[in-house]
Chains A and B, each alone.
Chain A
Amino acid sequence: EAGVAQSPRYKIIEKRQSVAFWCNPISGHATLYWYQQILGQGPKLLIQFQNNGVVDDSQLPKDRFSAERLKGVDSTLKIQPAKLEDSAVYLCASSLGRQETQYFGPGTRLLVL
């Protein structure tokens, strides 16, 4: 069974530029999560989808971050414009249902200069 796929693995951009991350969850998983993990901290939930609907985006900085999950499968997370403090690892995870075991992708390491 294929795991959660993410791309790109690394990205370096300058502040005020835009960037997009892609996630392909495990087949059949209804719930998809995007987390931001700053070095030395635990993952912070940015947004949670149940199929193609948003369940929780209370910690998503909506003035610059956006995410979508078209057709309830793949998802993209966009930052526009990026700030220095956005430098972090962006993790995507999926699960069969809400509050169940999450399976994480390898993450995308973003560096904003």
Chain B
Amino acid sequence: SQQGEEDPQALSIQEGENATMNCSYKTSINNLQWYRQNSGRGLVHLILIRSNEREKHSGRLRVTLDTSKKSSSLLITASRAADTASYFCATAEVADMRFGAGTRLTVKP
């Protein structure tokens, strides 16, 4: 069964704009991870945030985690055409990892 649910399912923006994606989950987690998948390729890890952390940055990426609301957000600032991809959140439950259905981001040049 899938744990995380991303919102929106699809997002289209212009180059230079910021993109925000959200992930909601249902049970307690140890950590939450974001991955990117370019069309036809494997997933690439972006960032991991642990349950005792509230915010994390990596380059143009900013991730927040609100365990009381069971939600996380991924912000990509100053987006580029190369950011066009599907983005997935994965939640580390008590035992294992579960992926959501993803957000399809399109950045128009």
- Chain A residues packing against B (C-beta within 8 Å): 4, 33, 35, 41-45, 48, 55-56, 59, 91, 93, 98-107
What CA separation (Å) do A106 and B47 show in the bound complex? 19
Which of the residues B41, B92, B95, B99 comes within 8 Å of A42, measured between beta carbons? B99
Dominant SS among interface residues on chain A: loop
Structural contact, B100 and A42, CB atoms closer than 8 A: yes
Structural contact, B96 and A44, CB atoms closer than 8 A: no
Q: Which of chain A's residues has its CB closest to B96's CB?
A: A56
What CA separation (Å) do A63 and B98 show in the bound complex? 23
Cβ–Cβ < 8 Å partners of A100 in chain B: 48
Instruction: Known contacts A42-B88, A42-B102, A44-B2; decide if A104 and B43 are in contact (CB<8 Å).
Output: yes
Asked if B97 is an interface residue, CB under 8 A from chain A, the answer is: yes
Which of the residues A55, A104, A107 comes within 8 Å of B96, measured between beta carbons? A55
**For this complex, into which size category does the number of interface residues on chain B fall?**
20 to 34
Cβ–Cβ < 8 Å partners of A35 in chain B: 99
Structural contact, B99 and A44, CB atoms closer than 8 A: yes
What CA separation (Å) do A16 and B40 show in the bound complex? 26
Structural contact, B2 and A99, CB atoms closer than 8 A: no
Structural contact, B42 and A48, CB atoms closer than 8 A: no
Structural contact, A45 and B42, CB atoms closer than 8 A: no
Instruction: Known contacts A99-B31, A99-B92, A101-B33; decide if A45 and B45 are in contact (CB<8 Å).
Output: no
Cβ–Cβ < 8 Å partners of A99 in chain B: 30-31, 92, 96-97
Structural contact, A43 and B96, CB atoms closer than 8 A: no
Nearest CB of B to A8, in Å: 15
Structural contact, B45 and A41, CB atoms closer than 8 A: no
Structural contact, B42 and A105, CB atoms closer than 8 A: yes
Nearest CB of B to A37, in Å: 9
Given contacts A102-B45, A104-B42, A107-B42, 16 further A-B contacts (CB under 8 A): A41-B101, A42-B2, A42-B99, A45-B96, A55-B95, A56-B95, A59-B1, A91-B42, A91-B43, A99-B30, A101-B33, A102-B33, A102-B97, A103-B45, A104-B44, A106-B42
What CA separation (Å) do A10 and B45 show in the bound complex? 23
Nearest CB of A to B43, in Å: 4
